[in-house]
């Protein structure tokens, strides 16, 4: 390692669902890493597994302290697995402290601000990539691969669906993010115009190979914006993004929201102020699935395009199963592992263009798909496996 860098990686949000996956994968590959999280309660599971790992508790809302930690740690890459609210703060800190950075994705307004920082990262010869998980992440890279086979693209539909072997509730990923997907207006492109719709007014049943039936609906995600940002000159008219949940998970989350347990408004209990959503989030962290519980997820991108004036449809799909030895992560490996893979690609020089990007324009698909296969994530194009 160059003397300029003390660590290969600094992982923010290391104690969360995705952070723990990233940390475990990087340590298994012998990288030198430093970890950080908001609270001792979050970081303890990491310290129990890896007692010698260096760490520091940090509130990413404090920009100066975030800059100071990055300067002290001197990582080659910052992998930000914290809640998306602080992604822009981390970008600003990495610019100031001169570190490459990736995250798991932001909402559309913040994604716009991150992509606007392209010239700033170029001037400092740094790489920044937002949306390096499952979706945004794998879906974006599948889209870039598919577009090699068309000249024009009119319609893009993308999304995720999943299911489990037993109907018990296990948080599928970040509860704060899920609540936003259920309750905040979704942005989509329809006939060349941006519109917003309430997610739960768009529910349709859909059935997917290996997954079965899901309740699918439009959700607030950055993919429609970045797809349009990079590929609008290809004739794009319609972009839709769907989330899908099996009934047992959908109705549990819906009931949390209806009962007020997902509220961000502070309430007072015995002179202590708490928010129901924070309480719910921490409570759900304690759930331990049964031994029979396993998950499977599909990420998909369907495009309707043209080649030589003729219509051409392409269906990209990525299937993720619960992986032996990673049972506690369920299908969340398809979010944590891509972040680890993309971070490693930057560390190895396999991604070496400076600037601020979404993954579809900067991550080499074939190499990325090969790395997914190491964790048995299967990528298909028109029903033929390509990795």
Angle at 200 (CA atoms; ends 195, 201), nearest 5 degrees: 60
Q: Are residues 215 and 314 in the same domain?
A: yes
Q: What is the pLDDT of residue 115?
A: 98
What does the alpha-carbon distance between residue 257 and residue 254 come to, in Å, rounded to a whole number? Answer: 5
Number of folded domains that form the chain = 2
What range does the domain containing 303 cover? Answer: 138-331+369-385
In a domain, 214, yes or no: yes
In a domain, 1, yes or no: no
* Residues paired with residue 78 on neighbouring β-strands, in sequence order: 10, 101
Q: What is the pLDDT of residue 268?
A: 86
Mean pLDDT in order along the chain per 10 residues (387 residues): 80 95 97 95 92 96 97 98 92 98 96 98 98 98 98 97 95 90 96 97 96 97 98 96 97 96 89 90 90 95 96 97 92 96 98 98 98 97 98
Q: In what order do the strands lie in the sheet with 7-12?
A: 55-57, 33-37, 7-12, 75-80, 100-103, 127-129, 355-357
Over the Cα atoms of the chain, what is R_g? 20
Q: Are residues 53 and 180 in the same domain?
A: no
Task: Give the β-pairing of 384-385 and 378-381.
Answer: antiparallel
Task: Yes or no: say if 342 and 102 are a contact pair by the CB < 8 Å rule.
Answer: yes
Q: Are residues 116 and 196 in the same domain?
A: no
Q: What is the pLDDT of residue 3?
A: 52
Angle at 222 (CA atoms; ends 216, 227), nearest 5 degrees: 100
Helix 276-284 to helix 175-183 angle, to the nearest 10 degrees? Answer: 130
Q: Are residues 288 and 339 in the same domain?
A: no
In a domain, 298, yes or no: yes
Q: What is the pLDDT of residue 174?
A: 85
**Length of the chain, in residues:** 387
């Amino acid at each position: 390692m160059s003397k300029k860098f003390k660590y290969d990686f600094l992982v923010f949000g290391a104690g969360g669902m995705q952070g723990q996956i990233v940390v475990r994968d990087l340590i298994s590959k012998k990288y030198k890493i430093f970890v950080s999280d908001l609270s001792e309660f979050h970081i303890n599971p990491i310290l129990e597994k890896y007692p010698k790992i260096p760490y520091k508790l940090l509130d990413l809302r404090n920009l100066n302290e975030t800059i100071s930690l990055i300067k002290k740690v001197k990582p080659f890459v910052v992998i930000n697995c914290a809640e998306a609210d602080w992604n822009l703060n981390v970008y600003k800190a990495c610019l100031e402290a001169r570190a490459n950075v990736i995250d798991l994705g932001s909402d559309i307004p913040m994604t716009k601000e991150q992509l606007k920082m392209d010239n700033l990262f170029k001037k400092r010869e740094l790489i920044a990539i937002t949306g390096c998980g499952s979706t945004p992440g794998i879906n974006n890279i599948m889209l870039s691969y598919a577009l090699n086979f068309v000249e024009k693209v009119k319609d893009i539909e993308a999304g995720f669906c999943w299911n489990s072997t037993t109907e018990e509730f296990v948080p599928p990923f970040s509860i704060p993010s899920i609540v936003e997907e259920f309750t905040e207006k979704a942005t989509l492109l329809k006939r060349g115009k941006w519109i917003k719709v309430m997610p739960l007014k768009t529910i349709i049943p859909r059935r997917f190979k290996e997954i079965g039936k899901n309740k699918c609906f439009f959700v607030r995600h950055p993919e429609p914006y970045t797809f349009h940002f990079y590929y609008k000159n290809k004739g794009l008219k319609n972009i839709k993004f769907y989330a899908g949940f099996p009934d047992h998970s959908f109705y549990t989350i819906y009931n949390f929201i209806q009962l007020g347990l997902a509220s961000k408004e502070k309430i007072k209990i015995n002179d202590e102020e708490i928010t129901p959503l924070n309480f719910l989030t921490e409570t759900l962290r304690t759930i331990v699935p049964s031994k029979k519980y396993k998950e499977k997820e599909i990420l998909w991108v369907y495009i309707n395009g043209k080649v030589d004036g003729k219509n051409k449809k392409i269906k990209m799909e990525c299937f993720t199963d619960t992986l032996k030895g990673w049972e506690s992560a369920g299908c969340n490996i398809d979010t944590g592992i891509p972040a680890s893979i993309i971070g490693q690609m930057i560390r190895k020089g396999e991604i070496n263009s400076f600037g601020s990007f979404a993954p579809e324009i900067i991550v080499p698909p074939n190499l990325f798909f090969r790395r997914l296969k190491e964790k048995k994530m299967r990528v298909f194009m028109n029903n033929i496996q390509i990795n």
